[in-house]
A and B are shown apart, each in its own frame.
Chain A
Amino acid sequence: MTRALLALAALASVIVATSSQGAGAANGSIRGRVELRRPLAGIERRPGVADLGAQAARDLTDRLRSVVYLDTAPRGAFDQNEGGRAIMDQRNETFVPHVLAITTGTTVEFPNSDRIYHNVFSLSKPRTFDLGRYAVGRSKSVRFDRPGIVRVFCDIHSHMSAFILVFNHPFFDMTDGEGRYRIDNVPPGTYNVVAWNEGVASEPRAVTVPDGATTELDFSLR
């Protein structure tokens, strides 16, 4: 995770343009699949030794979704961020989605859809916040203005955790249930691409996107 954080921070401060974008060139795509070669069980509750009875069943966290992003992005990509809105729900003692990838300037809503209190907070350097306790039907929001990886927790339920990956460019994608991703609208050029899952990032892999074509790039994360 540290490596990915550093990569993102470097991305924020130094724009390394490896693009050979030319006037009139058609943008291309990068697509592929991320294979996870390590067991990823759902996050369990801490053993509730002091509980008077078993806790109610909850949803297990989907930890299989990965994020693939350009480690180096085209010059000018950082000027295009308008921000937007995203939602990270708190449902059945789980953050849904477990991983959220957004651009800087995005405001994330944290509605509480449970009948119990939650208390969303983060101590991550790109964005520290604590939304306090609020009940079902209410929502609070946080705007993310700095790129980096933000770990999100619930102060009441230690098994609730999530990731928000904040990019200052739009060249990233979340994998689907089968690990597939697709980054579109990439200007022709050579880039370093990284796959990330649950705090583990791959080595950056160089890929060249031809004019108007799609490039295949698969990852294997251990």
Chain B
Amino acid sequence: MGWSRRLTMAAVCSLCVSATAAAQGLPAEPVTLGAGRVTLGGTVTAAFACARLEENNSCGDDTGFFNYTDYEHSTLRMTRVAVNAAVRASRQFSFLAEIRSENGQAPQAYALYARVRPWPERAFDLQIGRVPPTFGAFARRAYASDNLVIGMPLAYQYLTSLRPDALPATVDELLRMRGRGWLSRFTLGDPTAAHGLPLASALRWDTGVQAHAAASWGDASLSVTNGSLGNPLVSDDNAGKQVAGRLALRPTVGLVVGVSATRAPYLTRALVRTIGRDGDGHRFTQTAWGTDVEYSRGYYLLRAEAVVSRWLLPTLAPRLRATALMLEGRYKLRPGLYASGRVDRLGFNRVAGDTLSDEWDAPVTRVEVATGYLLRRNLEFKVAVQRNVRDGGRVPRLTIGAAQLGFWF
């Protein structure tokens, strides 16, 4: 064992011990104020990762940018402090918010919306503001305590080369960006290099109106928001609204089957104007379909989710399609201890240019196995090993070890 690994393990152990000691004095339940009208909760997570660099077999950063959500943030090396609050003004009105700081940056509103229940006796809600994602299942359980491993599914995090503010002029130009979504650059629109879009974003929530109705057999949601599935926004910068819907059925206890769909223009108005297609922006859309299944019983929990996304680009004839498939599970080995894993695949359709023919972005396969241990009921330590394989890019294969400590109340 190298000195760096020993140092890392010692740091992790001391972090756990000190965190356990510190957690003794921290709240174990939400803080309530104003006779229960105000409820405050919180989450603190710290994750550290070490990628095995094959050139010198040492510990380093995620040089393949497999887990980056933009140029600076890796989901495996992230410290997050979040405070969430619910203020119940009346039986019909409540306000919810979550303020987050990631890696010590200035706090930002992750969620900020009003929840209106017009008929208090009926399970029908309207949510207005920066609302929870309608599409799919994972984006609403991206919290460390709900995530079975440490990393996120490829569909909700991995950056494709597509950008909302820049376009490839040709298929060949698009193909030259395969596996470079963390820093892609195209000739049309913004010429500076920047990160691309994931199929769906789990790290930002969209802004708009959402309706939700629930019954004993399941629930349904419909939303109209400013951004797109891969690029949620506070202020609209494209040619139309995103419409998203989800239907979840519960045919038996422990089984949830969901289907989702969404469609939205995703190119910025400035880009559409630049390429001389002003007025056509609403035609260049991201359309996605998703299905998700969860089944649990006894000591195991299984989840599967598939997302198919299609983009229409004004400069390219072929439609671009990406398909993500994820399967994950958890088994409780003993009280407080579990083993979990996720298998993930993200693929792209083939396109042909003048000189090149290939999938338009590099397919990625990810396998992650993890184990989690509850030091206290609300203090969890996880370790994971993640293997990434990509058919392109500068780093085609990378194995990453990660540890995460999470506290919530």
Contacts and interface: CB of A to CB of B under 8 A. Distances in A.
Contact of B36 (A42, A48, A56, A128): A42
A76 interface: no
A151 B377 contact: yes
B97 A49 contact: yes
Contacts of A47: 30, 39-41, 84-86, 96, 98
Interface residues of A, number: 34
Nearest to A42: B36
Given A41-B36, A123-B376, A133-B296, A50 B253 contact: no
Query: Main SS of chain A's interface residues?
Result: loop
Contacts of A56: 123, 214
A52 B30 CA distance: 20
B253 A54 contact: no
Interface stretch (A98-106, A113-121, A171-179): A113-121
Contacts of B6: none
Interface string B270-298: 00000000000000000000000000111
A52 B378 CA distance: 24
B111 interface: yes
B115 interface: yes
Interface string B300-315: 0100000000000000
Contacts, number: 116
B391 to A, nearest CB: 34
A51 B84 contact: no
A115 B29 CA distance: 24
A52 B297 contact: no
Size bin of chain B's contact surface: 35 or more
B212 A128 contact: no
Interface in A10-66: 41-54, 56
B32 A136 contact: no
B299 interface: yes
A136 B254 CA distance: 11
Contacts of A135: 253-254
Contact of A129 (B98, B246, B335): B335
Contact of B39 (A45, A122, A123): A45
Nearest to A128: B335
A133 B30 contact: no
Interface in B323-368: 332, 334-336
A123 B41 contact: no
Contacts of A121: 335-336
B73 interface: no
7 contacts: A53-B124, A54-B94, A54-B125, A115-B216, A123-B335, A128-B334, A130-B336
Interface of A: 41-54, 56, 115-117, 121-123, 128-130, 132-136, 151, 153, 158-159, 161
Interface of B: 29-30, 32, 35-36, 39-41, 84-86, 94, 96-98, 110-111, 115, 117, 123-125, 127, 132, 134, 140-141, 143, 210, 212-214, 216, 219, 221, 246, 253-254, 296-299, 301, 332, 334-336, 374, 376-378, 408-409
